[in-house]
Amino acid sequence: MEKTKMVPFHGTKEQEANLLQAIAEMKDEKGSLMPIMQKAQDIYGYLPYEVQKIISEQMDIPMEKIYGVATFYSQFNLYPKGKYKISVCLGTACYVKGSGDIYNKLMEKLGIAGGECTSDGKFSLDACRCVGACGLAPVMMINEEVYGRLTVDEIDGILAKYE
């Protein structure tokens, strides 16, 4: 189900210039659509309609194909993420060590479901599949910071650091 929360697009001229330059550099390589979309997401943080449109026009690729690729891969976001992106590993190793409880606790605490963002734009929550730190299971990440060997009781304290 698509989330219908509309967030106004605030792209800057500078971001657009960066994107146009990236497209110009990569456009002629074989199979360059995905690398360009990844670059676009680096620049804007997500891939709103307006950004997809620029890629479509510059590369002469129809919008439906770009939208198709953007919605196929879980790493492309059509909506902006929170300032602090929380991802809880639900890989097998973390799951058998109780990461499901961590995830539920976060949903309860933040009042949002997986894939959503709190209304103040501060936290977004996602489940991810294995960050590869299975030795530290259960694991979650907040932006680039990794929290390992987690227990449910630690959640309040960790979130408080970001309040």
Partner 1 sequence: MYRSHVLVCGGTGCTSSGSQQVIQALRNELKNQKLQDEVAVVKTGCHGLCEEGPIMVVYPEAVFYSRVRPEDIPEIVSEHLLKGRIVERLVYHDAQVPEGIRSINETAFYKKQHRVALRNCGVINPEEIDEYIGTGGYEALGKVLTEMTPDEVIQTILDSGLRGRGGAGFPTGMKWRFASGNRGNVQKYVCCNADEGDPGAFMDRSVLEGDPHVVLEAMAIAGYAIGASQGYIYVRAEYPIAVERLKIAIGQAREYGLLGKNIFGTGFDFDIDLRLGAGAFVCGEETALMTSIEGNRGEPRPRPPFPAVKGLFGCPTILNNVETWANIPQIILKGPKWFASMGTEKSKGTKVFALGGKINNTGLVEIPMGTTLRTVIEEIGGGIPNGKKFKAAQTGGPSGGCIPAEHIDIPIDYDNLISIGSMMGSGGLIVMDEDTCMVDIAKFFLQFTVDESCGKCTPCRVGTKRLLEILEKITDGKGTMEDLDKLEELCYYIKDNALCGLGQTAPNPVLSTLRYFKDEYIAHVKDKKCPAEVCKKLLTYKIDPAKCKGCTLCARNCPADAIAGNIKEPHIISVDKCIKCGTCLDKCRFGAIYKE
Least spacing, CB of residue 161 vs partner 1, in Å: 16
When the beta carbons of 18 and 38 are compared against partner 1, the nearer one is: 38
Token pair of 21 as six digits: 């330059």
Q: How many CB atoms lie within 10 A of CB 157?
A: 8
Q: How far is CA 115 from the centre of its chain?
A: 9
Residue in 11, 15, 16, 38 binding partner 1, rule: CB under 8 A: 38
Residue in 31, 113, 120, 157 binding partner 1, rule: CB under 8 A: 31
Query: Which of these ranges, 13-21, 50-58, 69-77, 154-162, lies near partner 1 under the rule CB under 8 A?
Result: 69-77
Q: How many CB atoms lie within 10 A of CB 21?
A: 11
Cα distance between residue 121 and residue 106, in whole Å = 16
Length of the chain, in residues = 163
46 binds partner 1 (CB under 8 A): no
Q: Is the N-terminal amide bond of 35 cis, ω within 30° of 0?
A: no
62 binds partner 1 (CB under 8 A): no
152 binds partner 1 (CB under 8 A): yes
Query: In this structure, is the dihedral angle defined by the CA atoms of residues 15, 17, 20 and 26, taken in order, positive or negative?
Result: negative
Half-sphere exposure of residue 57, counting CA atoms within 13 Å on the CB side?
7
Query: Which of these ranges, 13-21, 34-42, 50-58, 117-125, lies near partner 1 under the rule CB under 8 A?
Result: 34-42
Least spacing, CB of residue 108 vs partner 1, in Å: 9
134 binds partner 1 (CB under 8 A): yes
Cβ-contact 75, 40 below 8 angstroms: no
161 binds partner 1 (CB under 8 A): no
Q: Give residues in contact with partner 1 (CB under 8 A).
A: 30-35, 37-38, 65, 68-69, 72-76, 90-97, 128-137, 139, 146, 148, 152-153
